[in-house]
Amino acid sequence: MRINSPQCGQSDRRNDAYNSQWSPGKFYTNLIKSKVPIIFDVGAHQGESAVFFKKIFPISILYSFEPDPENFLVLEKKLSRYGKNQLQGQASAFAIPLAVAEKKVLLNFTSSLFPILEGFWLSIKSLKTL
């Protein structure tokens, strides 16, 4: 019994065809019609999403919020490469060392060696007072 498998390179061509029709860039440019969109990256971490969206919308105005001081330093460095918006002559990417919440409140931020455990930890008692 002979098993047919794609010849070398065929699956790459299929992937290229798929990506040319269904790329994230095409998805977002169909969704967002503005030539200069304003993008809010909340919980920006180290700028992964910021870089992703700046590739798709190079002249966008981007606000990235990240409360963790170590992540913020990396984020700030990444965003510094974007400089000024070519259409408006102003900065096009802003790193903001804050968290975003429904209302103004002061909370302790916990850093960890395990990023999944980082963030704001609230006790049940704290939740009742918010």
Domain ranges for the chain: 12-102
d(CA 45, CA 70): 9
DSSP string, 8-61: TTHHHHHHHHHHHHH-HHHHHHHH---SS-EEEEET-TTTHHHHHHHHH-TT-E
pLDDT 10s digits, 31-40 = 999 988 999 9
d(CA 28, CA 38): 13
If one compares 107 and 118, the residue with the highest pLDDT of the two is 107
pLDDT 10s digits, 4-13 = 555 555 677 7
Task: Flag whether the pTM goes above 0.75.
Answer: no
What top-level class would CATH report for the domain 12-102? Answer: alpha beta
Q: Please answer whether residues 83 and 92 qualify as being in contact, where contact means their C-beta atoms are separated by less than 8 angstroms.
A: yes
> In which band, very low, low, confident or very high, does the pLDDT at 123 lie, cut at 50, 70 and 90?
very low
